[in-house]
Amino acid sequence: MKVAVGSDHRGFDAKQLIMAIVSQMGHECVDVGTNNMTPVDYPDLAYVAAKSVSEKQVDRAILICATGLGMSIAANKVRGVRAALCHDELSAHIARDHNDTNVLCLSGDQTGEVLLRKIVETWMSTEFSGGRHQRRVNKIIAIEEGRDPREITNG
């Protein structure tokens, strides 16, 4: 799997660790920046990573900023992206299993190294279960397309 990894300056240290984890899992990393601790605007990096997912240049992306909130908001503005801010293994599992997320957002300030590894490994190794969840993902896609999700009745 090909994974874009990006952060702002507050997530830079965590990004380095995440790239190592993803590589250790046997996946290819695409570093979309930032490459140092010089302050940058998180929407710029979120856009680059999310666009690479949307355009299928990569399979998934992982984004890190101070809280993960800004990255999540910005990434979700790109058509075709389902980004989730995850704080633990359960949220990472559900984000993939139920919501078929393609972008993981993390807090660089609030997530320690051990938990960070667990979240990334869980999110990367969990597949979308489909079934009843497919209908719900289809409703999310309908909203993104400007349609009423209540019109979607089947998977």
Find tokens 């874009």 and name the residue. 4
Copy the structure tokens of residue 89.
Answer: 């293994």
The CA distance from 49 to 63, in Å, is 8
Report the catalytic residues: 65, 98
Comparing C-alpha atoms, which of 61, 91, 89, 90 is closest to residue 76? Answer: 61
Residue 48 backbone dihedrals phi, psi, to 5 degrees: -60, -45
